[in-house]
Amino acid sequence: MSAKKETKPAEKAKLALYWAASCGGCEIAVLGIDDKILQVADAFDIVLWPVAIDAKVRSIEKMDDQSIDLCLFNGAIRTSEQEYMARLLRQKSKVLVAFGSCAHEGCIPGLGNVANREQIFQVAYHDTPSTVNPDGIIPQEETEMPEGSLYLPLFYDTVKTLDQTVPVDYYLPGCPPEPERIWDALVAILENKLPAPGSVIGAETTVCDTCPRTRNEKKITEFKRTWEIIPDPDVCLLEQGLVCCGIATRAGCGALCPTVGSPCIGCYGPNAGVTDFGARMMSALASVIDSQDPAEIDRIISEGIPDPIGSFYRFSLAHGELRRLVANGNGKVQDPALETA
């Protein structure tokens, strides 16, 4: 909103919400602010929100640069169309927020970085048992039909986060961010009470601090899978041997999952000052293993955590230091198109 000397009705600020490689959960979370959405509608003209409004991409392309006051961008970047939209909205927006875990860290789509395009296509379009594809058809960027060409965007080998694609002004963590945190962030934006540009808008402690369970001393001699035990409802889940990511995860949700008996899975990403969530989990879990014998330590880890990437980088693989894995592990640079599964 602008302040002018002449009396002129205040023009509404412009708001855009867009989704890239995402699931729609962030849209639902925005609606979770219930009737406060009326205040948002009063403060903003919503110029793009495909889930709700019939505005098309063309109308955004025609807008002036920086004419969108606030863009809440959720979703990771894994196609050329998504990168195009990220660049377009960065150009047209004053403030660009990486909204939710996908835009912030890659989230579940980021798990795609255990594979590449060829491997994903191989499974989706050839290998799944219900697929019948004798001619080996795979989706193409351009297909000639009798009537004209049909276009699909390029599907990348590696998922990127929003800040690996364009400069980002703020991050709102969570998969999805809880409605209370979304409202807090919107108020902070409207009142211009934001932290330094480039910051995460969020708490500066871990989920443990907000967890209702009792915590004593952690001495783990065995990690358990969630289906192996019915945990005590009052005691810390990690102390009972379940891999709970609360120790490394930024607070903000209110420890909702431990409240219903499920270990935290880390969807709010790392705490302030931490860049690689997985490294923090590895460090923290290793600290509480109760053994000094190398062979036993190896056994506790390999038996109890059969999938380190899935356990430690479930939401943050694309944003971790290594960003992705390589299939054959010989370290040599290869054209991903030649990599075999």
Partner 1 sequence: MNRISIDPITRLEGHGKIDIFLDGKGEVANAYLQVPELRGFERFCVGRPAEYMPNITNRICGVCPEAHHMASTKALDALFHVDPPPTAKKLRELFYSIFFATDHTTHFYALGGPDFVMGPDAPVAERNILGVIAKVGMDIAGKVLKMRHDGHHLIKMIGGRPVHPNWGLPGGVSRGITEEQRAEIEALGRDAIEFAKFSLQLFNDIVLGNPAYVDLIKNDAFVSHTYNMGTVDENNHVNFYDGMIRIVGPDGKEQAKYHAKDYLDHIEERVEPWSYLKFPYLKEVGWNGFVDGIDSGVYKATPLSRLNAADGMATPLAQAEYERMYETLGGKPVDHTLATHWARLIELLYATEHWVELATDPEITGTDYRTLPTETPDEGVGCVEAPRGTLTHHYWTDERGILTKVNLIVGTTNNNAAINMSVKKAAQGLIKPGVEIKEGLLNTIEMAYRAYDPCMACATHTLPGQMPLEVTIRDEDGEVIETLSKNI
Partner 2 sequence: MTEETFEPKIVAFLCNWCSYRAADLAGTARIKYQPNIRMIRVMCSGRVDPDFVLKALALGADGVMIAGCHPGECHYLEQNYKAMRRFSMLKHALRQFGVEDERVRLQWASAAEGVQLAAAINDMIDKVRALGPLNWPAKWSENGRVEAAIERIPEEHAEAMEVPA
Q: How far is CA 62 from CA 56, 91, 151, 169, 236, in A?
A: 11, 12, 22, 23, 54
Q: CA-CA distance, 206 to 195, in Å (whole number)?
A: 19
What type of residue sits at position 171? Y
Cα dihedral 171→172→173→178 (10° resolution): 180
Q: Minimum CB separation from partner 2 for residue 90, in Å? A: 13
Residues 265-304 touching partner 1, rule: CB under 8 A, are 265, 267
Q: CA-CA distance, 295 to 121, in Å (whole number)?
A: 40
Tokens of 183: 């409202």
Q: Where are the alpha helices (DSSP H) in 24-65?
A: 25-31, 37-43, 57-61
Query: Do 118 and 112 meet the contact criterion of CB atoms below 8 Å apart?
Result: no
Q: How far is CA 281 from CA 59, 266, 287, 322, in A?
A: 44, 10, 10, 15
Q: Minimum CB separation from partner 2 for residue 41, in Å? A: 22
Counting contacts by CB under 8 A, is residue 294 touching partner 2? yes
Tokens of 175: 């998969």
Applying CB under 8 A, the span of 65-73, 170-178, 195-203, 293-301 interacting with partner 1 comes to 170-178
Counting contacts by CB under 8 A, is residue 83 touching partner 2? yes
Counting contacts by CB under 8 A, is residue 55 touching partner 1? yes
Applying CB under 8 A, the span of 40-48, 186-194, 249-257, 299-307 interacting with partner 2 comes to 299-307
Peptide bond before residue 306 is cis, with ω within 30 degrees of 0: no
Our CB check for partner 1 shows the closer of 140 and 205 to be 140
Q: Minimum CB separation from partner 2 for residue 221, in Å? A: 13
Residues 302-321 touching partner 2, rule: CB under 8 A, are 302, 305, 307-309, 312, 320-321
Q: CA-CA distance, 169 to 199, in Å (whole number)?
A: 7
Counting contacts by CB under 8 A, is residue 326 touching partner 2? yes
The binder of partner 2 chosen from 12, 46, 118, 153 (CB under 8 A): 153
Q: Minimum CB separation from partner 1 for residue 25, in Å? A: 2
Per-residue x/- mask for partner 2, residues 166 to 205, rule CB under 8 A?
----------------------------------------
Q: CA-CA distance, 189 to 1, in Å (whole number)?
A: 12
The binder of partner 1 chosen from 195, 197, 212, 310 (CB under 8 A): 310
DSSP 196-233: STTEE-S-SSBGGGG--SB-----BS--B-TTT----S
Tokens of 74: 């959720």
Counting contacts by CB under 8 A, is residue 272 touching partner 2? no
Counting contacts by CB under 8 A, is residue 140 touching partner 2? no
Residue 271 interface partner, choices partner 2, partner 1, none, CB cut-off 5-8 Å depending on type: none
Tokens of 19: 């989704």
Region class of 290: left (phi > 0), else alpha (psi between -120 and 50), else beta: beta
Applying CB under 8 A, the span of 62-70, 147-155, 194-202, 244-252 interacting with partner 1 comes to 147-155
The binder of partner 1 chosen from 87, 215, 219, 225 (CB under 8 A): 225
Summarize as ranges the residues that interact with partner 2 (CB under 8 A).
Answer: 57-58, 61, 80-81, 83-84, 87, 141, 148-149, 151, 153-154, 156-158, 274-276, 278-280, 282-283, 285-287, 289, 291-292, 294, 297-298, 301-302, 305, 307-309, 312, 320-333, 335-337
